[in-house]
């Protein structure tokens, strides 16, 4: 049973190219490593299925950074269903290039879609900066005294 928060990462268009799934998006490895070092449980889900996600993660060298792979299916409301996750791995954050598909109640970190083969892409930069900030801890901006 997981005691750390779970973050779900979409695979195609987010971590790897939609048109080039063997192309790991720039900063993807760094993002996963940083999130992992902060104690986050990492899962990857894909509309291509769990085995597809596992295979692509292995090909791109990120499988060892991921705690689980899951199918990504839409529910009757058109949103991605969270029923694919075990209860202790339901994500609190989803990093996705289709933020409208993420169910209500889950924090979404939206990224631009990644088609592939763009070595200068910076679509994951803001998510990496946010995770890195959490790893370093809150910034100290001075003290305030409250009456």
pLDDT digits (tens, 9 = 90+) for 105-141: 999 999 999 999 999 999 999 999 999 987 655 443 3
Q: Return the pLDDT at 144.
A: 33
Q: Return the pLDDT at 135.
A: 61
| DSSP tag of 131 | H
Q: Return the pLDDT at 63.
A: 98
Q: Return the pLDDT at 139.
A: 41
- Domain ranges within the chain, ordered by starting residue: 6-114
Q: Return the pLDDT at 143.
A: 34
Q: Report phi then psi at 109, rounded to 5.
A: -110, 100
3-state secondary structure 64-114: HHCCEEEECCECCCCCECHHHCCHHHCCCEEEECCHHHCCCCCEEEECCCC
Q: Return the pLDDT at 90.
A: 96
Mean pLDDT by 10 residues, the chain (147 residues): 87 97 98 96 98 98 98 96 96 97 96 96 96 64 34
Measure the CA–CA gap between 36 and 30, rounded to whole angstroms: 10
Measure the CA–CA gap between 137 and 46, rounded to whole angstroms: 31
Distances (CA, A) of 85 to 28, 77, 92, 97: 22, 18, 12, 20
Q: In terms of CATH, what superfamily is 6-114?
A: HAD superfamily/HAD-like (3.40.50.1000)
Q: Return the pLDDT at 124.
A: 98
Torsion sign (Cα): 80, 84, 89, 95: negative
Q: How far apart are the first and last CA of the chain?
A: 44
Write out the DSSP string of 5-24.
Answer: PEEEEETBTTTB-SS-TTSB
Distances (CA, A) of 120 to 11, 116, 125: 19, 11, 11
């Amino acid at each position: 049973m997981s005691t750390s928060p779970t973050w779900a990462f979409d695979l195609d268009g987010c971590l790897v190219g939609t048109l080039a799934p063997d192309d790991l998006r720039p900063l993807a490895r760094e993002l996963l490593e940083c999130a992992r070092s902060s104690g986050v449980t990492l899962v990857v889900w894909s509309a291509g299925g769990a085995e597809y996600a596992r295979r692509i993660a292995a090909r791109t060298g990120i499988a060892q950074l991921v705690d689980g792979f899951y199918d990504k299916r839409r529910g009757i409301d058109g949103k991605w269903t969270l029923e694919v996750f075990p209860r202790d791995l339901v994500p609190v954050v989803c990093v996705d290039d289709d933020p409208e598909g993420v169910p209500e109640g889950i924090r979404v970190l939206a990224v631009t879609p990644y088609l592939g083969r763009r070595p200068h892409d910076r679509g994951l930069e803001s998510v990496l900066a946010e995770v890195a900030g959490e790893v370093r801890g809150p910034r100290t901006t001075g003290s305030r005294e409250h009456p």
